Amino acid sequence: MCENEATLLRKKFPTKTALATEIINLQAILSLPKSTEAFLSDVHGEYDAFQHVLRNGSGNVKLKIQDLFAGRMTEQSISHFAFLIYYPSERLKVIRQRYQHHNDLCQWYLDTFQRLIELLHFVSTKYTRSKLRKALSPKFAYITEELLYADNNNSDKLQYYQQITENIISLGQADAFIISTCHSIQRLVVDHLHMVGDIYDRGPHPEKIVERLMRYHSLDIQWGNHDILWLGAVSGSQLCLANLLRICARYNNLSIIEDAYGINLRHLALFAAAHYQDNPAFRPHMMRSEKPLTAPEQLQITQIQQAISIIQFKLEGQAIARRPEFNMAHRALLDKIDYKKNTIDLAGKTYKLTNPCFQTIDPAKPYELLPEERLLIDQLSEAFQNSDKLHQHMAFLMEKGHMYLAYNGNLLFHGCMPVDAKGNFEGLQIDGKTYVGKELLSAFEDNLRQSFAEPKAKTDLATDLLWYLWTGPRSPLFGKHEMTTFERYFVTDKDTHFEKPNAYYHLRQQRWFVEKLLTEFGLDPDNGHVINGHTPVKKGQSPIMAETKMLVIDGGFSKPYHATTGIGGYTLLFNSYGMQLVTHQPFTSRDDAIANMTDIISTKRVIDQVVQRKRVAQTDIGAQLQHQVTLLKNLLAEATESNG
Ligand SMILES: O=P(O)(O)OC[C@H]1O[C@](O)(COP(=O)(O)O)[C@@H](O)[C@@H]1O
Ligand SMILES: [Mn+2]
């Protein structure tokens, strides 16, 4: 036994009784059913949709209601009850309108209390009482516990409970009690949350998502390529910064930078206005639900998108020259342009350039920034590094985040593992050493941690690798051979827009390949699964691949992608009965969801045959607890020997 651990435990449990009590306690926990994990990915700044999925416990609230009240409630009542739990304040308003007579409202309260307490009991059976208490609002903890552990067969007690519920109503606490119980249920249905990448970009409120996650009881994050842009920007990568600004302009989200993070974009706007005009290729994408922009607003964003894109293309050329080992020479494009003819040579073919905006480029030195551009990007970089709120959010992403996670037998990562057509891991040379497989992912993580710790270093290898993670051909987060941003803006021939995916995306359909991945990460290939985000599951495709070994759960939160997916998206649950894939309806707006009660479409067990219910003992935490039990038992034996 490790002496340190033993000494600590000896101190904490100084008597034989204390040791025995703790052993009994831990063994009881080990025999509880495994708690529920939920998996979400590609939330992409869609805060309301994300909140909706947190509120419905990734679909688990409804499942629990269905399990518990099967045969006792109609589908419609189940929906109403579920939406009360997701949006208690809003639904209570509707209820109060509906039941204008005091007696009717009281009856509704009494029925609802009973159902809520029954459900709370049901969702907390997997937890110890102390864990349940933590999920209750302190204001109602005592009352709730009294109601939870009620003995309905004893008539004295029954009267006592009736008194409690009647008092809650007569003292005007009914709504507060319902709201707090609904929140406790929301919290208890998911014990641990996995965010499989891409919290940032395209949608309007990533900062609110991060703030919500900061208050969430238990979670981990696997970084996505879009998250890396933000982490990279605060770590000193001006390329990551240029890319994220470009995407914010493209999706009309510059307010995230100005309003949410307090970073002033005035200089960028002035520079852009001085050098760029309107350009159809650079107008912001607008969602139909958004308030239309005025003409001057649209022009300003269009100018900004051009200014920052050109800075990005120039900086790319510089990084590509600085890092020949990245093998990205084919992505240095500004020197392949004939600026007089407005054409570009790509892979031996000449293409006409439409919507050109190359006025700040010196054809003799195409990758050199203008002095104003240099000043601008330096200032912006500094402002990003000095935003306290952004730093706080990124520090949280660093603390909870990893490139990959092995958790309860499953392997989680956002994008891919770079492989060749035969499934051999492809290597990347970093500082003279070639990394492949698990080691490659760890090397990227080490470099990110280093770059984040040294934000002043702006063109060092660790920082350049963050840009590589965004767009490099062997980036596990990008997963394609090249990112054709330039062509998408300036070349009409769609063939040039193609971004060839890594062979991974074809191979992950096959069981042997997924088993190989699990083995590489030291997991049991027979029982584990690989869980990815990143690629929207298109209409007609299945998110369950490789004979159920591979699950792709792009949450479909991103509104601009709804047309390709056709559904809201998928989330995953892993409870004591196994894994369940939940299909969600497209989320339009919070108001619409509440009014029309649009929710989940279906839930499907990933593995159909009923397996034996998993206990805490069979989880990663269980293994730690088991280890503690062994230590405690040794101490108890020692104590028994020494004092007979
Ligand atoms: O949809 P947009 O804004 O044109 O962006 C397309 C770009 O986004 C990417 O798909 C990367 O973002 P995702 O991780 O969301 O897929 C690039 O491969 C592609 O060039
Ligand atoms: Mn992604």
> Ligand 1 in contact with 225 (CB < 6 A)?
yes
> Ligand 1 in contact with 499 (CB < 6 A)?
yes
Q: Is residue 609 over pLDDT 70?
A: no
**Number of C-beta neighbours around residue 300 at 10 A:** 21
pLDDT, position 455: 96
> pLDDT band for position 580 (50/70/90)?
very high
Q: Is residue 462 over pLDDT 90?
A: yes
> Ligand 1 in contact with 477 (CB < 6 A)?
no
pLDDT, position 564: 64
For the four alpha carbons of 448, 454, 455 and 458, in that order, the dihedral sign comes to: negative
Mapped onto helix, strand or coil, the DSSP state of residue 452 is: helix
Cβ atoms of residues 193 and 503 within 8 Å: no
Report the alpha-carbon distance of residue 97 to residue 105 in Å, rounded: 10
- Mean pLDDT score, 442-462: 97
Residues in CB range of 460: below 8 A, 6 or more apart: 451, 454
Q: Tell me the HSE value of 629 on the side-chain side, using a 13 A CA sphere.
A: 16
> pLDDT band for position 563 (50/70/90)?
low
> Ligand 1 in contact with 331 (CB < 6 A)?
no
> Ligand 1 in contact with 211 (CB < 6 A)?
no
Report the alpha-carbon distance of residue 68 to residue 121 in Å, rounded: 10
Cβ atoms of residues 337 and 344 within 8 Å: yes
Cβ atoms of residues 606 and 548 within 8 Å: yes
Ligand approaching nearest to the C-alpha of 483: 1
Q: What is the ipTM of this complex?
A: 0.95
The domain segmentation of the chain, as residue ranges, is 3-32+619-643, 57-191, 223-393+427-497
Residue with tokens 């409870």: 575
Q: Which atom of ligand 1 is nearest to the CA of 499?
A: 18
Percent of the chain past pLDDT 70, that is, above it, reads 97
Report the alpha-carbon distance of residue 400 to residue 210 in Å, rounded: 11
Write the pLDDT tens digit of every residue in 628-642: 999 999 999 998 888
Cβ atoms of residues 233 and 244 within 8 Å: yes
Give the CA radius of gyration of the chain.
28
> Ligand 1 in contact with 115 (CB < 6 A)?
no
Mapped onto helix, strand or coil, the DSSP state of residue 13 is: coil
| DSSP sequence for 482-498 | ---HHHHHH---GGGG-
Q: Is the pTM of this model over 0.90?
A: yes
> pLDDT band for position 598 (50/70/90)?
confident
φ and ψ at residue 516, rounded to 5 degrees: -60, -45
- Mean pLDDT score, 329-346: 97
**Number of C-beta neighbours around residue 274 at 10 A:** 10
Mutate to test the pocket of ligand 1, among 251, 475, 499, 532 (most ligand atoms within 8 A of CB): 499
Angle at 96 between CA 90 and CA 102, to 5 degrees: 155
φ and ψ at residue 604, rounded to 5 degrees: -135, 130
Q: Which stretch, 92-106, 281-295, 576-590, has highest mean pLDDT? A: 92-106
Cβ atoms of residues 101 and 109 within 8 Å: no
Mutate to test the pocket of ligand 1, among 42, 196, 225 (most ligand atoms within 8 A of CB): 225
Write the pLDDT tens digit of every residue in 489-525: 999 999 999 999 999 999 999 999 999 999 999 999 9
Cβ atoms of residues 466 and 443 within 8 Å: no
Q: How far is the CA of 553 from the centre of ligand 2 (A)?
A: 12
Range in 145-149, 325-329, 485-489, 495-499 the model is least confident about: 145-149
> Ligand 1 in contact with 534 (CB < 6 A)?
yes
**pLDDT, averaged across the chain:** 94
Residues within 5 Å of ion ligand 2, judged at the Cβ atom: 198, 224-225, 534
Q: How far is the CA of 329 from the centre of ligand 2 (A)?
A: 24
Q: Which atom of ligand 1 is nearest to the CA of 42?
A: 15
Q: How far is the CA of 533 from the centre of ligand 2 (A)?
A: 7
Cβ atoms of residues 575 and 601 within 8 Å: no
For ligand 1, atom 18: residue with the closest CA: 483
Q: Which atom of ligand 1 is nearest to the CA of 251?
A: 3
Q: Which residues pair with 402 in a beta bridge?
A: 222
Q: Is residue 233 over pLDDT 70?
A: yes
